[in-house]
A = this chain, B = another copy of it.
Amino acid sequence: MVVYVTETIEIAGIIAFTSSGIFSAMQKRLDVFGVLVIGFVTAIGGGTIRDILLGHTPVSWLRNINIPLLILFTSITTMYFHRFVKGLKTALFVLDALGLGLFTIIGIQTGLEAGLHPGMCLMLGTISGCFGGVIRDMLLNEIPVLFRREIYATACIAGGLLYLMFEGIIGETFAELISIIFICGLRIIAFKRRWGLPSLPRFRAK
């Protein structure tokens, strides 16, 4: 049952991440191919960096044709029905929060399986969840929104800590579900209440 839930969340997460990439790309003057690449990179970028850092190659999306197909399908649908999909803003936001939670936990589990220090696993989890968006913004020639915005990576880190603490006590499955719900919930509450990390006093060179 849990496997089905996890798979459903993964599909939801990929759809949400892809759409978010497509929307970002459509704000710039890109052609169809460019928009497709951005959608793709947003969806699989974080997991790809994780796999490369760990040496898990060929990276995971190269081994499962369903992922690129799902991204392609989502991209085309989003491009074609962008006015309609835009109306689904709230739904997409929740899917994105769910995906963020799931991808973070997958990243942590991958690190634990590779026998890494829990602190490293936490970093890998955050990278898995957040860095697709970082590559997207680099390609779109912007400072990553992740570095300026409301609670996003922080939710991953907090939820990841939760997972690492409880995984040994209540079992992997329960810890996974609780952490995903926690990340997703924190993300939504933070967004609603406009919580943000303090930005540092601007430091002037010279």
Contact = CB atoms under 8 A, between A and B. Distances in A.
Interface of A: 23, 25-35, 37-38, 48, 52-55, 57-59, 62-63, 65, 68-69, 79, 82, 86, 114, 116-117, 119-120, 123-124, 134, 138-144, 146-149, 153-154, 196-205
B68 A62 contact: no
B144 A197 contact: no
Contacts of A148: 29-31, 34
Given A33-B153, A68-B119, A200-B26, A62 B53 contact: yes
B200 A79 contact: yes
Contacts of A53: 48, 52, 57-59, 62
26 contacts: A23-B203, A23-B205, A27-B202, A27-B205, A29-B202, A30-B143, A30-B199, A31-B148, A31-B200, A32-B199, A33-B146, A33-B197, A34-B148, A35-B200, A52-B52, A52-B57, A54-B58, A55-B57, A58-B114, A62-B116, A62-B124, A65-B117, A65-B119, A79-B200, A134-B139, A138-B138
A147 B65 contact: no
Nearest to A72: B119
Nearest to A134: B139
Contacts of A48: 53
Contact of A143 (B54, B139, B146, B200): B139
Contacts of A123: 68
Given A53-B59, A57-B55, A119-B68, A147 B30 contact: yes
Contact of A120 (B68, B120, B154): B68
A139 B139 contact: no
Contact of A26 (B26, B29, B120, B202): B202
